[in-house]
Structure 1
Amino acid sequence: MQIHKLTDKLSVSPQVALEDIAKLSALGFKSVICNRPEKESDDQPAMLDVEQAVKAAGLTWQHQPVVSGKIKDQDVEDFTEIMAKLPQPVFAFCRTGTRCSTLWALSQANDMSVDDILGVAAEAGYNLSDQQTRIEALSHQ
């Protein structure tokens, strides 16, 4: 399991294995967000199995399916609302962690500078420079 910390409130990861979910509680996480649609690929576990494992570990579950490479403004708004209501810290995952990182980056457009957002993502191992223009645009809304 590869965990990449973005903030004290959020860490992201590539697809998590069912057997690793029980470890998340011991690592201090309180909630799990999955940003993958069901059956996005043949190698991912069934969403119901993931949900059951998360709940069995005593964590709060949230499924927010977002299509890779097609993050809409509504997805960002939904992510922001989800993060505001979930017990923290939150562990979010998708296929590689990039989608989760991008949702976070776009959600921070009004709270952090573009350079800081891109820097935090880069420190966590995600190059989101292709989102710079979009982050800038969101920061002016």
Structure 2
Amino acid sequence: MPMKPLTRLDANFSASPQIDAEDLPDIKAAGFRSVICNRPDSEDGGTHADHHLLEEAAKKLGLEFAYLPIVPGQINATNIASFKTIVANLPAPTVGYCRLGIRSKTLYERSR
């Protein structure tokens, strides 16, 4: 199965819709070094992959992983500051994901 379509925002950051552990080898092969989850595990009743599972799979591949859950429509200044710090401390390039990729994209744009 091909990797999910990424929205490349610049050389160091791309946003993605929800990923699964099976996507991580392709993410690594595409040259990414870090992954940020911006989707709360409890969203949609937790029907998507739990971030702990993805973090464990990412680390086995040598990818860094961060969890900054954001409720849709509720991005605030604290979230943006946290995101900026996380991105600054992770090896680039980074892929951020949430349900559709919109929260990750918005966080990145607002953190610039």
Q: TM-score, normalised by structure 2?
A: 0.92
Q: Determine the C-alpha separation between the residues in 2 that align with 1:9 and 1:37.
A: 24
Corresponding residue number in structure 1 for 2:15? 12
Q: Deviations over 1:61-102 (max 9, x none)?
A: 100111110001000001111111110000110000000111
Q: Determine the C-alpha separation between the residues in 1 that align with 2:51 and 2:66.
A: 11
Q: Deviations over 1:14-37 (max 9, x none)?
A: 001221112111110000000011
Q: Determine the C-alpha separation between the residues in 1 that align with 2:50 and 2:68.
A: 15
Corresponding residue number in structure 2 for 1:58? 62
Aligned AA for 1:19?
E
Corresponding residue number in structure 2 for 1:49? 53
Larger-Rg structure: 1
Instruction: Write 1 or 2 for the structure with the bigger share of strand.
Output: 2
- Count of aligned residue pairs for this structure pair: 108
Corresponding residue number in structure 2 for 1:101? 105
Report runs of 4+ in structure 1 exceeding 4 Å deviation. none
3-state SS of paired residue (2:10): coil
Structure 2 segments unaligned to the other structure (5+ residues): none
Mapping for residues 74-89 of structure 1, pairs under 5 Å? 74-89=78-93
Report % sequence identity.
37
Q: TM-score, normalised by structure 1?
A: 0.74
Structure 1 segments unaligned to the other structure (5+ residues): 109-141
Q: Determine the C-alpha separation between the residues in 2 that align with 1:23 and 1:33.
A: 16
Corresponding residue number in structure 2 for 1:125? none
RMSD: 0.9
Higher relative contact order (CA closer than 8 Å, sequence separation 6+)? 2
Answer yes or no: is the 8 Å Cα contact 1:22–1:53 preserved in 2: no
Q: Determine the C-alpha separation between the residues in 2 that align with 1:71 and 1:23.
A: 29
